[in-house]
Structures are given as structure tokens and as C-alpha cells.
Chain A
């Protein structure tokens, strides 16, 4: 729930400004902080209200999978934050690292390793292309096309299932911040293109998960995606059938 500071209109929408008067919106006692890009979750239920609105951390507490607490741990009724605690904005620096309402956010190193695995798979094809290129240039071009197609296939896999082969091995899943679901094949392809932005600024965009509170690359920010930790799987080039 958000309320306009100018005219008092209340809205559940994710608008940047008040739809009635254009005034700025403030969050009032709701678990979601719309300014962080979270809409109402479709997956896990929202945490129950705890005490008076605004006096308690607005999110993550009581969210399933949000914190890696010992099994059976539950905040007592009227649980209050320790002094100096900064309320998380829909995610928080819990004991297991920053988390979103959809799970623990994956750290940069794990994501980089997942990427390296995907790159290694493509690199095998690239080497084949270089070897065949020694025979004729036409064969190399053909293999280059296959490499490109394989890259597109991996990007679409990330969009459709949230995971590429490397991400399955490392236990990573890319989901939309609004839905908690994979973003779809087409948007997965667009996200791969958006990584262009990460590269052109001296590759600094790729490093953003190191310090970003949401652990997003610039491409993630553009596409409104986060990468969360999921159970690891074996290496498979195609998504496992469920």
C-alpha cells in the first residue's frame, strides 16, 4: 500500500508518482516496497503484519526462504528489530547473505563461475570452428553460426527456465523481480543483448553484483531480474524434463 503525500490517495500500483495528482508516493505499512520494483508476489504469500505499521521491518521477516535461520526458529510475537537495525527494502542482509522475497540472492563469484561453465561449452565449439577453419573458411563460418545459435539457445533457456547449463550446475536461477518467475524465452534473449551495456563501460556493469544491494548487473536492472540460489543439478545441455 502506498499513499500520496500530496492528496492522500492510496494505491497498490507500482507507479512512480500519484495517478491522481502527480505527487510523490510514500509506503504505508505494507511488506512490499514498490520503489524497489516488487509487485504483489505471486509465489510466496506476503508476510503477516507484525505490530504497528512502520514500527517494524517491512519485509523479509517471516518470508519463506528469506533467511537461513535454524529450523523451527520463529520470531516471537511483537518481535522488534535491534537498535540500529536498518529495515531491509524487500530484501535484507540476513545471516545467509542478502535475500529477496524469492530466496537468497546469488553472489558474484557463483554467478561468474556459472558464466564460465557456459562459456567453456561454447568455447569447445569455437575451438572446433578454428580447427575446421584450417580446412576451409566456409566450414569455420558454418561453425561460427552454430556458436551463435548455441549462444541464443542458452539465452532463451535462461529466459524460459531461469537457468543455463552453467547456472544449473552452480544452483542459480534468474527470475523477474515482479513475478518471481522466469522471464520467458524472448526476454531471455533481450537480457543477453542487455549485457552489452555491462560490457561497454569498461566491463564495470558485470561487477555490479559485487556491491549492489540487490546483486544485480546493469542488465538485471534493465530487465528487472534477480538471480537467486536454488538446488544444484548435474550438467545438462537441455533443461531437465519435469
Chain B
């Protein structure tokens, strides 16, 4: 729920998904590329969504390829780091994120993906 231009995150149940993300990256790194769910938006229209490239980015991080990860989706490093912090038990239970900052990050990521697919 967006409250006073803040989006409230409840991190209390995020440890299992965080583990899934990190382990998923490590496992995907040893599988042939292309494993994963295709983005419906890109499959139908050819236009990537703001979250496109994250599977590739996390897979690259799992294989230790930092620059390849950043080329796929810079947000991937942020998500991976957040998952690592959560797994280490260092994430606060409740996080309040400013909505303008969220919008800027997602908007920037979308522009990056649009450029990556040569649409802008």
C-alpha cells in the first residue's frame, strides 16, 4: 500500500525467496542460457518490460560475471545485493521506500532495457 508517497515493504517473509534468487542464479549459471519464463509483454509486442533482463543479470552474477550482469540489467545487482542482505539477516523487518525514488529506479531500468533492445 502506498502511504504518503511511501511504499511499505514487509521483509519478514523474504528469506526463502531471497535464498531462491541466489541459489537460482548459481544454478542457472550452469545451465544453458534461455532457461526461464519469457516475458509476456516482450513475447507479444517485442517491447521489454521494466523487469526484463533480470533473469539474465542474476544468472550472470551467479556465474561471477559482474559486467555481463550490469549489461543485462543494472537492477539485477541491486536485487541480488538485497537478497544477500536479507539472507544474512541484516534487512530490517519493515522498510519504507519513497515512491518517487522507486519510480525513478524502475523508470531508469525500463529506459535501459528499451535501449538494450534498440527501441530508443
Contact = CB atoms under 8 A, between A and B. Distances in A.
- Of the four ranges (under 10, 10 to 19, 20 to 34, 35 or more), the interface on chain A belongs to 20 to 34
Nearest to B53: A202
Contact of A89 (B3, B49, B52): B3
B116 interface: no
Task: Decide if the interface of chain B is mainly helix, strand, loop or mixed.
Answer: mixed
Nearest to A226: B1
A195 to B, nearest CB: 12
A200 interface: yes
Contacts of B12: 93, 97-98
Contacts, number: 64
Contacts of B1: 36-37, 89, 212-214, 216, 221
Contacts of A36: 1, 3
Interface string B5-46: 000111111100100000000000000000001011100000
Given A200-B49, A215-B10, A33 B93 contact: no
B74 to A, nearest CB: 16
Interface in A48-95: 86, 89, 93
A108 interface: yes
Interface string A1-14: 00000000000000
Given A201-B50, A201-B51, A213 B37 contact: no
A238 interface: no
Contact of A202 (B10, B14, B51): B51
Contacts of A32: none
Contacts of B11: 211
A148 interface: no
A138 B8 CA distance: 50
23 contacts: A35-B3, A37-B1, A86-B94, A93-B94, A98-B10, A98-B12, A199-B40, A201-B49, A202-B39, A202-B40, A202-B41, A202-B51, A203-B37, A203-B40, A211-B14, A212-B1, A213-B1, A213-B8, A213-B10, A214-B1, A214-B8, A215-B10, A216-B1
